[in-house]
Chain A
Amino acid sequence: MNIIEFSHVSKIYRKGFLAIKVPAVIDLSFSVRQGAITGFVGPNGAGKTTSLKMVLGLTRPSGGSIRLSGGDPGDPRARRDCAFLPEQPYFYQHLTVRESLAFAARLHGRAGSGLRADIEQTLDTVGLGGLGKRKIKELSKGMQQRLAMAQALLMHSSVLILDEPMSGMDPPGRGLFRALFLSLAARGATIFFSTHILDDVESLCNDVVVLSKGRLDYQGPIDTLLKKGFKGHDLVVPRLPDALKDGLRGMGCDVETARAEADRVFVPSGKDLAQCQRYLNGHGMFCESLTKRTTSLEDVLYKKQSG
């Protein structure tokens, strides 16, 4: 089942006195699976934030349709099970940390005697324990992002939509967010987040949606995208005699020194890995390790967008 569905969505802004049309999103169709962590990537100005705003009903599409949890994003009922974490948290600066969380929770229909205890527990989870009485204007940006995450956790929402959640966060903060994402996903939550940090996408996401200049560039499992960047296999073996090196080179492999007592044999994709292994084994050489050599997601996306 899909939690978010874009169907031929376009968004055109009108700018300036002459209301010149500026397309932000063009004929965009993609979906986000329930229970998956989906990364939403693309360069600046690709239309990611506009798309997220449309999912949340903050902006209306100029054409096409969007479904959030089966409903229209403009309908508050569709957002009942959804939490949003913006890139720059927009909190009411006059509120304290606890008041802000309580306000959001009550808007979400949560109330009762257990709310205060839940708030304290959630603040502990995001590393803001003991800061409940502090004014939001006294928090740093990183702390406000943690507070935004606390708000999302407090709702027990099953859909989390996040706009660059880890930009500007310190390494412990990023580590905490990654751990929270994985724990939420393990509980069945759907997480859809935009980011420029492709390491996060590689390590966290099941699926990825790639935008470029307002259009869909790729949608699907991240593994499929990474397979496109598969270069071959690296075999680490004990130091090889020159004759064996020549033999391997004759089979289309590269051989280089890995360390003082070991060589690395690179078997490019398309070459027969099993044949190379048999050749080595036949000469009494056995692999210490076998790894895939791939290009990074960044390289894959860069190549896609520049080519």
Chain B
Amino acid sequence: MRSIFEIALNTVRETVRNHVVYMVLLFAVILILLSVSFGDWSVFARIQVIEDFGLATMSLAGLLLAVFIGVGMLGKEISSKTLYHALTQPVARYQFVIGKYAGLLFVLALNYAIMTLFFMATLVYLGGHVTAPLLCAITCIWTEMAVIISAALFFSSFTSPMLAALFSIAFYIAGHLNDLISIQIASQKWSGFPFVLKALYYLLPNLEHFNVRDHVVYNMALPRGFTELAVAYGCLYVALFLIFSCVIFKNKDL
């Protein structure tokens, strides 16, 4: 446990000293500020636009962090061999993977905390309210990013950082289009491949489960226990990706 903590702490230190994090944060802050002026041009209510744009920005910022930092967490360490520093100590490989993930998750949480505070301050300043669906939406986005980072870590455990980044982006897009597969299955348009489609549908996480922006914008109530279920769904995928990453990394020649 101590090794995991130390590796996580080192990851936090490394990430915090990386300028990319600040650039992404600045990018998110600028987009949230821009949403104020977009609200003036839109046919929708200004607050609705700010809420929609702000949440989308947070989701995008998380994806950028996952791609720029999450993918390099393992791949960069393998190519630069800095992981020898830890793995020649009495540290198990699974401890290294989990420590890396925990450190990155903490940095992501810190970023989201700053973005959330800034977003809420902007919203309240302009007359909006912090509602329960809004808090649920932010929790869901954070959970989604925890899944994306675990996927990025998984991809970087067996491929190059560049390919891992591409796979992560593809995973994000495919995860959000997963509903389309179920529509295809239901319409039986691709009747020749129902098994393949079903396998894909169940294999890929449905990242739309984490998208509740419409509920926030139109102030619709969420079903009871929705947030808890979404978080549990995300945790399940995180656990799966981490287990697969650990298994692959355990047998990897370094």
Q: With a CB–CB cut-off of 8 A, which chain A residues contact B82?
A: 90-92
C-alpha spacing A9/B48, complex, angstroms: 67
By the criterion CB–CB under 8 Å, are B84 and A109 in contact?
no
By the criterion CB–CB under 8 Å, are A92 and B6 in contact?
no
By the criterion CB–CB under 8 Å, are A80 and B90 in contact?
yes
B187 at the A interface (CB under 8 A): no
By the criterion CB–CB under 8 Å, are B253 and A59 in contact?
yes
By the criterion CB–CB under 8 Å, are A77 and B90 in contact?
yes
Closest to A88 in B: B81
| Total number of residue pairs linking A and B with CB closer than 8 Å | 70
| CB-CB under 8 A for A109 and B87, given A58-B254, A92-B14, A94-B17 | no
How far in angstroms is the closest Cβ of chain B from A62?
10
Q: With a CB–CB cut-off of 8 A, which chain A residues contact B86?
A: 107
Closest to A50 in B: B253
B88 at the A interface (CB under 8 A): yes
Q: With a CB–CB cut-off of 8 A, which chain A residues contact B80?
A: 90
A66 at the B interface (CB under 8 A): no
Contact with B along A67-110 (1 / 0, CB 8 A): 00000000011011011101010111011000110011011110
By the criterion CB–CB under 8 Å, are A103 and B10 in contact?
yes
C-alpha spacing A80/B3, complex, angstroms: 13
By the criterion CB–CB under 8 Å, are B84 and A84 in contact?
yes
By the criterion CB–CB under 8 Å, are A108 and B90 in contact?
yes
The residue that B85 contacts in the complex, of A57, A80, A90, A106, with Cβ under 8 A, is A90
Closest to B14 in A: A94
A60 at the B interface (CB under 8 A): yes
| CB-CB under 8 A for A79 and B90, given A92-B14, A94-B13, A95-B13 | yes
By the criterion CB–CB under 8 Å, are A57 and B13 in contact?
no
A sample of 27 inter-chain contacts (CB < 8 A) reads: A13-B253, A57-B87, A58-B87, A58-B253, A59-B253, A60-B253, A76-B89, A76-B91, A77-B90, A79-B88, A79-B89, A82-B88, A83-B88, A84-B84, A84-B88, A86-B84, A90-B81, A91-B82, A92-B85, A99-B13, A103-B85, A106-B2, A106-B6, A107-B6, A107-B7, A108-B89, A109-B90
**Which residues on A are within 8 Å of B, measured CB to CB?**
13, 53, 56-60, 76-77, 79-80, 82-84, 86, 88, 90-92, 94-95, 99-100, 103-104, 106-109
**Which residues on B are within 8 Å of A, measured CB to CB?**
2-3, 6-7, 10, 13-14, 17-18, 80-92, 95, 251, 253-254
19 extra A-B contacts, CB within 8 A, seeds A57-B87, A107-B7: A53-B254, A56-B87, A58-B254, A60-B251, A76-B91, A76-B92, A77-B90, A79-B88, A79-B90, A82-B88, A84-B84, A86-B81, A91-B82, A92-B14, A94-B14, A95-B13, A100-B85, A103-B10, A106-B2
